[in-house]
Structure 1
């Protein structure tokens, strides 16, 4: 058998040391030491503005009056630093601080980027929050919680008309509203342009010099899986250390030009810390993608990827699936995207094997080599980068070894192994939540992640670790048998590709494991119905039911016991919603929220009271 050929990619960490602790505890560290890193990210901004003043830092397509997008608007490093100093002066003039920070309601755009840089320069924290809290939510409960937690002194939204209802419902008269365009009925607003027109003084440089490793640079809220979201404190040390860790684990970031095309939301750590920080730290360029991996917006992403060739490309599994499908027939997309990309990276959920195979096939067809698909593990509290794979031979769920400077503590938890983190990239805690902060760390100062890992190969520690689910998601059947949710979900998604978007497992304190399946739009192809047929009718179609009968039968053939045998399955016509916390902005499912909000469906599934319940015939 011929060995697959990959476009060359260097892996920075390939060796680690494991030591034993007390019974059931082990510690794992990379053999590579963490190199020195700057005290603040603004040091890198200033450096690149001096070394590469004309190079583009951020670019975004201009918004036209009819709502369409036009040519790219570029902001260079020199322009970004100048704008940051002006905005920073305006923020200092307002007396803002960690006690009265800046809150951003709207999505990724150039003004959002410049405001973030202005906050960094002035040493004033900012918090980008989920636009869904303002635009989709009907009660604004999560946005009210954010406002109560942070007590912002200034709130920014790109389009006042779109965000007016949310701002009026959640913000007091003492909070200044800044917008790029539009008005808020009954409230004065400040134009973003007026911030940008402020003349910078020596006070800005003094403020920037006064920041240091312990300065709070931003707040990022957790998804709020079980309770209201928590504000994760992000310090300069945490962000800078993590960026240095990334460059050592992923040397490709410093090996020549760095160009990203990225849609990932900045209110999440993947887009807002990992990728936003990456281009500043390494002198790269980010093209802001207004597309998303949804049927309505994926066309914009594909348009951008036909035009701009990234050198590394980050996305979530649903995004890669859409791109893989498009590349089968889109010659220009294949030609541009694959022309110089050195590495793909996915996170957020499981990537089905057929998607990997399709990406490899397109790359081999176009350039004669595969592009390495990489992954890792991290979280908002870790900056987010924590673990990264060690070779191109990656399989779904593989996570690899810890990044330099991060110590892993592996703790036996009744048959599962929880991973805990300690290092300079770990948050000092949650803002204004001392009890939650204390509960998050163990007696040795390790952050308790709740993630379960196991060895890729128990005989070779250097291959690293792979994902084994979330400890809080796992449950027991009535027989006392543990169900490991993460691996079983991944197995079901792979078996049902490309027709399964995600799966929520059921069966807590019951005799059997059940599955509630969120199908992809591609399931319509199986139904043979008109394009405007409702999803309920689509899922009732004989062709759809027959396909999922085949899937559950195949899963039953490979099951080894009640803990991994899907005994009953139903298809959900109503997709998971952000407003109910069932799904995040970047598409990852919240198992607990789905189970809570669809408890009636769970009960009917296990009581055989749904119209269609698919059971194994083998």
Structure 2
């Protein structure tokens, strides 16, 4: 019987010499391929020993570490469902995710154990463990007593492997359900499309709680049996110092901007590099051009989503065109339609829809929402707006609704507006995205007071910081008498964007 477990495919790609170095960390720790094999087996055996129900969710909110990566792989190995949570999420957000996903296991940092365990136990979670980025915590203490041998769980191709929460434009987050086949098919396509080489070394400088770092980067290196240089936190000076030892780097545009600020970034330090990849947010054409001039390399831009993993990519061989996301990947059908459902001609701007083996299974416990997001013929409505050129290059020209992408993270105004509107004295609010030289885009909150009430913009921001992840916090808040509206009474966010677009320039 064939095993469709994603971990089985990754494990089969490990080099024959298990004593070879698989991961070198930024604090001079070295992990062999054998270490990964043994540690994932021990952690998988710990999970199995808990007698979890089939399809049990393992929710994880910890700092980036090799052990956190091992926990992800062990969850796959044992046949359970991994649920990564952004380390910046605060109590109101964690309460929603745990209540909605009903995980059997929650793993958090030791510092957060008090409040996270309270939320988890109240929601019916049976097991709460801790994991620190210094290789301590109850999870590792328990796993240390488990066997280092484990038979990889047999799963079906469509069995769930992960749930990624992606905020909705109309409020609460939705859990995108990704199967083993969704992620494996994508990893296999990218291995070929990006021409991974036997001697490749990846600098892993991304967080591991979303698609880019957890799936694209991690799966890419593992399915190629490639060594990783592992950074717990992005440090531009350290990255530049390690470029001569590496061949592949993946980053969001913000990381490229910060690397360009380093005087040490030269043609010489990039001499062994094969590929620089960018995604998660649009790369400014100025950054694209400056990178070419400084390093002699052309950044390869691609496009994907939590619900789909990677969808398109500029070519590895051929023109990597700045301002575009290249072509649909092999196996991905991509079309652009108007609001009436008619497929548009080349260079006509419309709604991007996709179909393929990498497209998610639907939204967790939201059958109506899932149905709504798919067309009658099975295409997923991405919510992005774009066009396909005469020569096939795809350009994303905007995002439906009001999504803000700040430093590579999605910020949905409706969610933040909900928190502001609940504050004492607030009548209503509007959050818009404006250009920012470092983050690409940041939020500006415009708040209206109730009659006779006084509001303090700094106080509003301070209260938000106690409730929400830092990347969601508006970089500027202003209190006005009224919001601009059209004749139908709808808030004109385009007017606000225009009004504040030069705030950070």
> Common fold, TM-score beyond 0.5?
yes
Give me the whole-angstrom Cα distance separating, in 1, the residues matched to 2:205 and 2:465. 17
Check whether the contact 2:23–2:227 (CA below 8 A) recurs between aligned residues. Answer: yes
Query: What corresponds to 1:147 in structure 2?
Result: 98
Q: 1:350 to 1:180 in 2, by over 3 A?
A: closer
Check whether the contact 1:452–1:471 (CA below 8 A) recurs between aligned residues. Answer: yes
Q: Does 1:237 align with 2:189?
A: no
Give me the whole-angstrom Cα distance separating, in 2, the residues matched to 1:343 and 1:215. 33
Q: Does 1:319 align with 2:255?
A: yes
Q: 1:601 to 1:343 in 2, by over 3 A?
A: farther
Kindly provide the CA deviation profile for residues 486-531 of structure 1, in whole angstroms up to 9, marking residues without a partner as x. Answer: 9xx9xxxxxxxxxxxx9x9xxxxxxxxx987465579xxxxxxxxx
Q: 1:350 to 1:602 in 2, by over 3 A?
A: farther
Query: What corresponds to 1:306 in structure 2?
Result: 241
Q: CA RMSD in A?
A: 3.8
Give me the whole-angstrom Cα distance separating, in 2, the residues matched to 1:340 and 1:603. 54
Q: CA deviation at 1:435?
A: 1.4
Q: Does 1:271 align with 2:213?
A: yes
Match runs of 1:153-168 below 5 Å = 153-157=104-108, 159-168=109-118
Kindly provide the CA deviation profile for residues 136-182 of structure 1, in whole angstroms up to 9, marking residues without a partner as x. Answer: x3xx222111101211121112x312453333345437532212359
Q: Does 1:121 align with 2:77?
A: yes
Query: What corresponds to 2:314 in structure 1?
Result: 389
Give me the whole-angstrom Cα distance separating, in 1, the residues matched to 2:354 and 2:477. 32
Give me the whole-angstrom Cα distance separating, in 1, the residues matched to 2:384 and 2:470. 18
Q: Does 1:79 align with 2:35?
A: yes
Q: CA deviation at 1:114?
A: 1.1
Q: CA deviation at 1:263?
A: 2.6
Q: Does 1:427 align with 2:369?
A: no
Q: 1:120 to 1:355 in 2, by over 3 A?
A: same
* 3-state secondary structure, aligned to 1:430: coil
Q: CA deviation at 1:402?
A: 0.8
Correspondence for 1:603 among 461, 471, 483: 483
Q: CA deviation at 1:94?
A: 0.5
Query: What corresponds to 1:221 in structure 2?
Result: 165
Q: CA deviation at 1:44?
A: 3.0
Kindly provide the CA deviation profile for residues 94-132 of structure 1, in whole angstroms up to 9, marking residues without a partner as x. Answer: 022455321111122111111111111110111110111
Give me the whole-angstrom Cα distance separating, in 2, the residues matched to 1:211 and 1:151. 21
Give me the whole-angstrom Cα distance separating, in 2, the residues matched to 1:596 and 1:267. 27
Give me the whole-angstrom Cα distance separating, in 1, the residues matched to 2:433 and 2:189. 39
Would you tell me which structure has more helix in proportion to its own residues? 1
Q: CA deviation at 1:274?
A: 0.8
Check whether the contact 1:58–1:287 (CA below 8 A) recurs between aligned residues. Answer: yes
Q: CA deviation at 1:83?
A: 1.3
Give me the whole-angstrom Cα distance separating, in 2, the residues matched to 1:224 and 1:350. 20
* 3-state secondary structure, aligned to 1:381: coil
Match runs of 1:419-458 below 5 Å = 419-456=352-389, 458=390
Kindly provide the CA deviation profile for residues 213-267 of structure 1, in whole angstroms up to 9, marking residues without a partner as x. Answer: 122111111134432111111111001100112123211x2x2322222232222
Give me the whole-angstrom Cα distance separating, in 2, the residues matched to 1:211 and 1:416. 41
Q: CA deviation at 1:428?
A: 1.0
Query: What corresponds to 1:47 in structure 2?
Result: 12
Give me the whole-angstrom Cα distance separating, in 1, the residues matched to 2:212 and 2:96. 23
* 3-state secondary structure, aligned to 1:51: coil
Check whether the contact 2:63–2:132 (CA below 8 A) recurs between aligned residues. Answer: no
Give me the whole-angstrom Cα distance separating, in 1, the residues matched to 2:336 and 2:372. 18
Match runs of 1:535-614 below 5 Å = 600=480, 603=483
Give me the whole-angstrom Cα distance separating, in 1, the residues matched to 2:268 and 2:120. 45
* 3-state secondary structure, aligned to 2:72: helix
Q: CA deviation at 1:469?
A: 1.0
Q: 1:343 to 1:614 in 2, by over 3 A?
A: closer
Q: CA deviation at 1:379?
A: 0.5
Matched length: 437
Query: What corresponds to 1:180 in structure 2?
Result: 131
Check whether the contact 2:336–2:388 (CA below 8 A) recurs between aligned residues. Answer: no
Q: CA deviation at 1:578?
A: 7.9
